[in-house]
Amino acid sequence: MSDLNGRKVILHDMCLRDGMHAKREQISVEQMVKVATALDDAGMPYIQVTHGAGLGGNSLQHGFALASNEEYIEAVASRMKQAVVSVLLLPGLGTMKELKSAYDSGARSVHVATHCTEADTSPQHIACARELGMDTTGFLMMSHLSDASSLAQEAKKMESYGANTVYITDSAGFMLPEDVTQRVTALRDVLKPETEIGFHGHHNMGLGISNSIAAIAAGASRIDGSVAGLGAGAGNTPLEVFIAVCERMGIETGVDLFKTMDIADEIIFPMMDHIVRVDKDSLTLGYAGVYSTFLLHAKRAAERFGVPARDILVELGRKKMIGGQEDMIQDTAMTMAKQRGLLKQNF
């Protein structure tokens, strides 16, 4: 057994939110209920359920899901025996009106997400969530773009608005274990002891598991992942693998390993439109530090304008585009296509 023997960690499954990206938002209400009830039965404590971009996500920018967020949340929440249903909210996209409506539909936990340097766009939403009595997380996206001490200052702001947990979010799957250790340690130094720290990984460099373990070793107590890794880019930290590693190390998750393995093979894997894995494009995301959700958008733009997806992703990384700027993928592809003589201005 390792040094982490006996440590308790709270798992948060992302299949039905981050996984929506990998499914182009096309998961049906029935599929959500099937996945969520199986996860609930396996003992998963938190399950996130929304459009991939969260509340207010239905848009031309982010795609339209098969059902409204309220329909998904209600269908899932009404069938949970023990799991808490959570949602994602990005200020600038989702609003407090939508948060209240999600609460009325049965959501009791929220990730309020901002880019890692822009925590001060979240005070209204974090305070509103706390007022509703929700388990409230401040979620610092693209955390690799900030150094540890700046990130800790942003985390401190979210704590001051009322967040009871702050997540370090490796949206690009760029971080190495030592990057995670530094950042979690810096947050642990400045946050109140009762404020929890979480880590949300992407598997673009194959490091979802080891990064999550590094986070726990440095003091994190909440881990996001998804069974079978169903998520943006090369997916989230695959939870069935992570649970197996935790068992070997003596870390307690309270989630049934064999049941989770069965869900991965029998329910999630057959749902995948493409096998979510490290391939040349998702690896490019991790290597270049690009927002994982950009992957499928870049592939679509590549098909339409004849510029390879990898070239588009590298250019987006160079231009420092962040989550939410999906419109800039078509724009960048068009500009590159013009430069390469593949596209003429249409007037």
Partner 1 sequence: MKKIRCALIGSGNIGTDLIYKIQRSELLEPVWMVGIDPESEGLTRAAAMGLKTTYEGIDGLLPHVLEDEIQIAFDATSAYVHAENSRKLNELGVMMIDLTPAAIGPLCVPPVNLKQHAEKVEMNVNMISCAGQATIPIVSAVSQIQGVEYAEIIASLSSKSIGPGTRANLDEFTYTTSNAIEVVGGAKKGKALAIINPAEPPMIMRNTIYCLTEGEPDEEKITASVLAMIKEVQKYVPGYKLVNGPSFEGNKVAVFMEVEGLGDYLPKYAGNLDIMTAAATRTAEMFAEEILAGTIQLNPVEVAS
Does 291 carry a binding-site annotation? yes
Does 17 carry a binding-site annotation? yes
- Segment contacting partner 1 by CB under 8 A, of 93-101, 221-229, 253-261, 280-288: 93-101
- Rounded Cα gap, residues 189 and 186, in angstroms: 5
Q: Which of 4, 96 has the CB closer to partner 1? A: 96
Q: Which of 167, 291 has the CB closer to partner 1? A: 291
Q: Which of 55, 217 has the CB closer to partner 1? A: 55
Instruction: Provide, rounded to whole angstroms, the least separation between the CB of residue 298 and partner 1.
Output: 16
Instruction: Provide, rounded to whole angstroms, the least separation between the CB of residue 329 and partner 1.
Output: 10
- Rounded Cα gap, residues 154 and 135, in angstroms: 19
Q: Which of 286, 324 has the CB closer to partner 1? A: 324
Judged by CB under 8 A, the residue of 52, 54, 63, 91 near partner 1 is 91
Q: Using an 8 Å Cβ cutoff, are 117 and 151 in contact?
A: no
Does 104 carry a binding-site annotation? no
- Maximum separation of any 2 CA atoms in the chain, in Å: 69
Judged by CB under 8 A, the residue of 303, 320, 339, 340 near partner 1 is 320
Instruction: Provide, rounded to whole angstroms, the least separation between the CB of residue 49 and partner 1.
Output: 22
Count residues near partner 1 (CB under 8 A).
33
Q: Which of 319, 340 has the CB closer to partner 1? A: 319
Beta bridge partners of 169: 200
Q: Which of 12, 21, 62, 115 is catalytic?
A: 21
Question: Considering the rule CB under 8 A, would residue 238 count as an interface residue with partner 1?
Answer: no
Backbone angles phi and psi of 141, in degrees to 5: -75, 155
Active site residue 274: no
- Rounded Cα gap, residues 157 and 122, in angstroms: 9
Q: Which of 187, 301 has the CB closer to partner 1? A: 301
Question: Considering the rule CB under 8 A, would residue 321 count as an interface residue with partner 1?
Answer: yes
Question: Considering the rule CB under 8 A, would residue 93 count as an interface residue with partner 1?
Answer: yes
- Segment contacting partner 1 by CB under 8 A, of 113-121, 184-192, 234-242, 280-288: 113-121
Binders of partner 1 among residues 249 to 308 (CB under 8 A) are 304
- Segment contacting partner 1 by CB under 8 A, of 95-103, 200-208, 245-253, 276-284: 95-103
Instruction: Provide, rounded to whole angstroms, the least separation between the CB of residue 12 and partner 1.
Output: 25
Residues that are catalytic: 21
Q: Binding site membership for substrate: which residues?
A: 17-18, 171, 200, 291
Q: What is the binding site for partner 1 (CB under 8 A)?
A: 59-61, 91-93, 95-97, 115, 117-118, 120-121, 123-125, 145, 304, 319-322, 324-325, 327-328, 330-331, 334-335, 346-347
